[in-house]
């Protein structure tokens, strides 16, 4: 494999690169040829996981959040994630826009209207009638719970681990480096390579689902605007165009391509949100934003630990209740691409302190998410008819948004904008935002996967980076074109199953970080001297291990 890598002009770990690429090709071919059998098999696995281990996902994310708060508030919060005296490379604004646009921007555009309306019309909590004021309050709270603080907890924990071990001690830019305190030099062996391969595959397929959602929403928007249809070929054409944009950004690199697209994208998203605020029920929405803070934080303890334990007592459920298809799936799906977001955030956060990193990555996007859902969610529910009395007064016009969501989730945002002036312009503007979010997610993922293969923060050869960008687009395109809905459904089942081992993997980062913190000389926490291997409990380091690849790795700053 090393000879083949040299012939192809690759600068990568041949085993990690070729095994990851091979697994991707084989699995996609199998999914295309046998989508339904594979979907059925993984559906059984998914059902078993959410029934028997759903509580583990719910509890685990809460434990992660508690650990992150402890790490930030403890004396270790002053540790700088870089060398002595190093300061952040990016401004706070650019840092925020890059981590947000590379994170869940596409998901917010997709679910900003659809999820609150879904919960409004089908309340998840027992004893709540649909379309009532109580249903509306729960809908907003649940939507923010799914895409707010807890989602960013799933990104922040691996991000902190990567930033600490990679930026501070110049270990290879790989997921396996996080486990150096536990594995020692074993991170370069079969176990370490297996961790990196699993992380790459999780990233590829996790991002593929996001790209599939994005392309379906763009297709729905173009169909609403121009009647282009939203079938498989339209989505493939969209994937081809936007993959080309993403590849161009990949070639430009992180500082030029991703940063430019991210800053542009977040500005357009904020402009769209302000438009809804100004042209919608402004006073109602302003009051809604304020009240949503209280609703979210008031219901958060209950939602955070709720795991549908009484679902088995209801004969109308299938044994694991509403939450299995929402919350547990969200956590399993999100964790599959947490290595991608974590490494990306670690790369752009070099020089920040642990405290700054944790609170910045946790709080800033979560705050934006809360405001986003408060504006889009409350306005959508008011348009649909908020409360039974309001719906009776509206007559036949009530239920327009909920009917659109029931018919087609990707159409939700565009049905919502039909209630505003300048409908076609705003719908087109929304399509552009989703498209750029699509491109930033794709190019960010490609750059991170390339880092996982090279083990370095410096970009690999251009054609090597382009390969991963094209591969992501091809995976999504082949699933849509050749396997159709059955293929996407099967992929979602697979991600839930794959999410379990990755969830366990991320959980093991906590003891690794604790051992790393324990080796710090708190009186000299900005020096950045890498702890010796024996300090992690592995015994005296050999001459080979102390003079080998880890110390010779160039730092990201170089």
Lowest mean pLDDT segment, chosen from 110-114, 271-275, 492-496: 492-496
- Check pLDDT > 80 for residue 467: yes
DSSP collapsed to 3 states, 289-321: HHHHHHHHHHHHHHHHHCCCHHHHHCCCCCCCH
**Are 304 and 466 spatial neighbours (Cβ–Cβ below 8 Å)?**
no
| Of 280 and 313, the one with more pLDDT | 280
User: How large is the average pLDDT for residues 27-50?
Assistant: 79
Q: At what angle do helices 484-507 and 190-226 cross, to 10 degrees?
A: 140
User: How large is the average pLDDT for residues 262-278?
Assistant: 87
- Check pLDDT > 90 for residue 58: yes
- Check pLDDT > 60 for residue 102: no
For residue 323, the Cα-to-chain-centroid distance in whole angstroms is: 19
Q: Which candidate, 168, 201, 288, places its Cα nearest to that of 498?
A: 201
- Check pLDDT > 90 for residue 118: yes
* DSSP H or E run through 115: helix 105-121
| Of 298 and 527, the one with more pLDDT | 298
Q: What is the dihedral of CA 215, 219, 222, 226, to 10 degrees?
A: 150
- Check pLDDT > 90 for residue 481: no
CA dist., res. 470 & res. 452, Å (int): 17
* Longest CA span, the chain: 81
Q: What is the pLDDT of residue 391?
A: 93
Lowest mean pLDDT segment, chosen from 70-79, 237-246, 454-463: 454-463
Lowest mean pLDDT segment, chosen from 93-102, 150-159, 294-303, 467-476: 93-102
- Check pLDDT > 80 for residue 288: yes
In the structure, what pLDDT confidence band is assigned to residue 255 with cuts at 50, 70 and 90? low
- Check pLDDT > 80 for residue 52: yes
**Are 226 and 428 spatial neighbours (Cβ–Cβ below 8 Å)?**
no
Q: Is 395 left (phi over 0), alpha (psi -120 to 50) or beta?
A: left
In the structure, what pLDDT confidence band is assigned to residue 302 with cuts at 50, 70 and 90? very high
Mean pLDDT (the chain, rounded): 82
Structure-block tokens of residue 392? 């009776």
Model pLDDT for residues 426-439, shown as the tens digit of each residue: 999 988 888 877 77
- Check pLDDT > 80 for residue 296: yes
Stated pTM of the model:
0.85
Q: What is the pLDDT of residue 382?
A: 96
User: How large is the average pLDDT for residues 526-549?
Assistant: 46
Q: What is the pLDDT of residue 397?
A: 86
CA dist., res. 32 & res. 480, Å (int): 9
Q: At what angle do helices 259-279 and 423-454 cross, to 10 degrees?
A: 150
Q: What is the pLDDT of residue 494?
A: 73
In the structure, what pLDDT confidence band is assigned to residue 536 with cuts at 50, 70 and 90? low
| Residue percentage of the chain with pLDDT more than 70 | 85
Give per-residue burial for 57-69: e unless 16+ CB within 10 Å, then b: bbebbeebbebbe
Q: What is the pLDDT of residue 489?
A: 63
In the structure, what pLDDT confidence band is assigned to residue 529 with cuts at 50, 70 and 90? low
């Amino acid at each position: 494999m090393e000879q083949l890598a040299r012939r192809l002009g690759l600068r990568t770990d041949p085993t990690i690169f070729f095994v990851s690429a091979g697994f991707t090709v084989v699995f996609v071919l199998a999914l295309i040829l046998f989508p339904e059998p594979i979907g059925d098999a993984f559906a059984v696995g998914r059902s078993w996981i959410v029934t028997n281990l759903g509580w583990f996902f719910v509890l685990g994310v809460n434990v992660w959040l508690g650990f992150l708060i402890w790490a930030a508030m403890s004396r270790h919060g002053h540790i700088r994630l870089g060398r002595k005296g190093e300061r952040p490379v990016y401004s706070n604004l650019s840092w925020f826009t890059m981590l947000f646009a590379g994170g869940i921007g596409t998901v917010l555009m997709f679910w900003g209207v659809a999820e609150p309306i879904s919960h409004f019309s089908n309340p998840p909590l027992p004893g709540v009638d649909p379309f009532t004021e109580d249903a509306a309050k729960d809908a907003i709270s649940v939507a923010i719970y799914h895409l707010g603080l807890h989602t960013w907890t799933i990104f922040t924990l691996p991000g902190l681990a990567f930033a600490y071990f990679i930026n501070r001690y110049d270990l290879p830019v790989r997921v396996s480096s996080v486990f150096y305190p536990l594995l020692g030099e074993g991170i370069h062996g079969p176990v370490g390579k297996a961790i990196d391969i699993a992380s790459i595959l999780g990233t590829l397929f996790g991002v593929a689902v996001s790209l599939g959602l994005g392309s379906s929403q763009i297709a729905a928007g173009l169909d609403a605007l121009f009647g282009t249809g939203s079938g498989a070929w339209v989505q493939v054409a969209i994937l081809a165009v936007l993959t080309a944009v993403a590849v161009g950004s990949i070639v430009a690199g992180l500082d030029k391509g991703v940063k430019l697209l991210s800053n542009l994208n977040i500005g357009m998203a904020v402009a769209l949100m302000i438009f809804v605020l100004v042209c919608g029920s402004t006073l109602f929405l302003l009051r809604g934003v304020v009240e949503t803070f209280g609703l979210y934080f008031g219901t958060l303890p209950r939602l955070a630990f709720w795991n549908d334990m009484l679902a088995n007592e209801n004969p109308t459920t299938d044994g694991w209740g509403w939450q299995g298809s929402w919350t547990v799936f969200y956590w399993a799906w999100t964790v599959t691409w947490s290595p991608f977001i974590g490494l990306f955030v670690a790369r752009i956060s070099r020089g920040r302190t642990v405290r700054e990193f944790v609170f910045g990555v946790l709080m800033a996007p979560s705050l934006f998410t809360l405001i986003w859902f408060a504006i889009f969610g409350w306005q959508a529910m008011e348009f649909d008819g908020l409360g039974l009395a309001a719906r009776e007064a509206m007559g036949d016009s009530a239920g327009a948004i909920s009917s659109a969501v029931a018919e087609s989730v990707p159409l939700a945002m565009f049905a919502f904008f039909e209630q505003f002036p300048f409908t076609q312009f705003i719908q087109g503007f929304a399509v552009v935002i989703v498209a750029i979010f699509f491109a930033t997610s794709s190019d960010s993922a490609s750059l991170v996967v390339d880092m996982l293969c090279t083990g370095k923060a410096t970009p690999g050869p251009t054609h090597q980076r382009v390969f991963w960008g094209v591969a992501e687009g091809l995976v999504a395109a082949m699933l849509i074109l050749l396997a159709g809905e059955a293929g996407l459904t099967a992929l979602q089942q697979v991600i839930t199953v794959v999410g379990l081992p990755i969830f366990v993997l991320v959980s093991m980062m906590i003891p690794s970080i604790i051992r790393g913190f324990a080796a710090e000389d708190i009186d000299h926490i900005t020096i950045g001297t890498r702890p010796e291997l024996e300090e992690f409990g592995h015994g005296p380091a050999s001459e080979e291990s102390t003079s080998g690849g880890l110390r010779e790795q160039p730092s990201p700053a170089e």
